[in-house]
């Protein structure tokens, strides 16, 4: 038996860091939403109990380091599953980009295997298991739009944000999330207004959503990689309504309300970046699988 599951990328419309925790993680407050750029995960039942990872992308680990492998292994151990699975990952989401590609692959694997292995777990249970793999995995299990707190694993659903286009531009550098959090000076953060962002979404107010984009990690990554600041400037120059770095970066996203402007921003960025995408916000939650 075989099945396909979509693994969409996320962007952080706002990302605040409230402080460092005794366990080494940071307490965060993030408004996250999925976009229509997705990896495709194919899951095929393997009778001998093994877990295989297959991918054409040279940046994707083909072994236990792959977050999709971790997801399968965790479910297999916890629920004493006898069968194995061959996981084929067709990558569309750039790797180490701040778009939660690996986390979304893990979340899609959890949702798919729940069906393939007849585990009958709820999204809540899958999200709890996902938190053991990584801080972004719980959100990726649900998808849609949410306020994420704790270290990112406490998820409160939000309505779909106002409709718009998202231009994603990924420079040809990878960023380590751990390095960015390690370099953050928590006493020097300019805090985004999370409440105002949540309110803008409830009110379906596009202008307020644009006005309240903010990311406490942005300054850290911009200092490490000045080319990210350059891409932000270009995105603004070509007419995006609002521009921000996603997650720990280096991907920059620009929001554009009117379709007539999308091509201009997209073409403008193609001159500076090897990977540029013009996509829609997805906004809605994932189906179970």
Shortest Å, Cβ 199 to ligand ATP: 25
Near ligand ATP in 146-165, by CB under 6 A: none
Should residue 102 be labelled a site residue for ligand ATP when binding is judged by CB under 6 A? yes
Q: Which does 84 bind (CB under 5 to 8 A by kind): ligand CDM, ligand ATP, none?
A: none
- Contacts with ligand CDM, 148-177, as mask; x by CB under 6 A: ---xx------------------------x
C-beta of 131 vs 231, nearer to ligand CDM: 131
Indicate left, alpha or beta for 100 from its phi (over 0: left) and psi (-120 to 50: alpha). Answer: left
Q: Is 214 labeled as ligand-binding?
A: no
Helices (H), 131-270: 137-142, 177-183, 194-202, 206-211, 218-224, 226-237, 259-270
- Contact (CB, 8 A) for 279 and 94: no
If you ran DSSP here, which 8-state letter would residue 281 be given? B
The C-alpha atoms of residue 182 and residue 168 are separated, in whole angstroms, by 25
**Which residue ranges make up the site for ligand ATP (CB under 6 A)?**
60-61, 65-68, 89, 95-103, 105, 136, 177, 247-248
Return binding residues for ATP: 94-104
Which residues would be at the binding site for ligand CDM (CB under 6 A)?
Answer: 12, 15, 25-26, 28, 30, 100, 103, 134-136, 151-152, 177-178, 181, 247-248
């Amino acid at each position: 038996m075989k099945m396909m599951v979509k693994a969409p990328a996320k962007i952080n419309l706002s990302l605040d860091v409230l402080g460092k925790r005794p366990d080494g993680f940071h307490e965060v407050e993030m408004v996250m939403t999925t976009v229509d750029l997705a990896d495709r995960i194919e899951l095929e039942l393997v009778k001998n109990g093994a877990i295989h990872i297959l991918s054409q992308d040279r940046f994707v680990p083909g072994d236990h380091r792959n977050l999709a492998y971790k997801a399968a292994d965790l479910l297999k151990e916890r629920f004493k599953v006898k069968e194995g699975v061959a996981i084929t990952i067709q990558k569309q989401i750039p790797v180490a980009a701040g778009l939660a590609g690996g986390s979304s692959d893990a979340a899609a694997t959890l949702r798919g295997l729940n069906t393939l292995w007849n585990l009958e777990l709820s999204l809540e249970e899958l999200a709890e298991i996902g938190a053991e793999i990584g801080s972004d995995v719980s959100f990726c299990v649900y998808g849609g739009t949410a306020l994420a707190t704790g270290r990112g694993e406490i998820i409160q659903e939000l309505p779909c944000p106002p409709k718009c286009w998202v231009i994603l531009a990924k420079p040809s550098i990878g960023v380590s999330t751990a390095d960015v959090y390690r370099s953050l000076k928590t006493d020097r953060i300019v805090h985004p207004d999370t409440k105002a962002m949540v309110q803008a979404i409830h009110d379906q107010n596009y202008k307020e959503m644009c006005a309240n984009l903010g990311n406490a990690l942005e300054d850290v990554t911009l200092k490490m990689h000045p080319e990210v600041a350059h891409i932000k400037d270009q995105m603004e120059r070509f007419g995006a309504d609002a521009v921000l770095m996603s997650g720990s970066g280096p991907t920059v996203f620009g929001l554009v309300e009117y379709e007539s402007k999308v091509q201009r921003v997209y073409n403008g960025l193609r001159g500076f970046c090897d990977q540029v995408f013009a996509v829609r916000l997805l906004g809605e939650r994932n189906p179970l699988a």
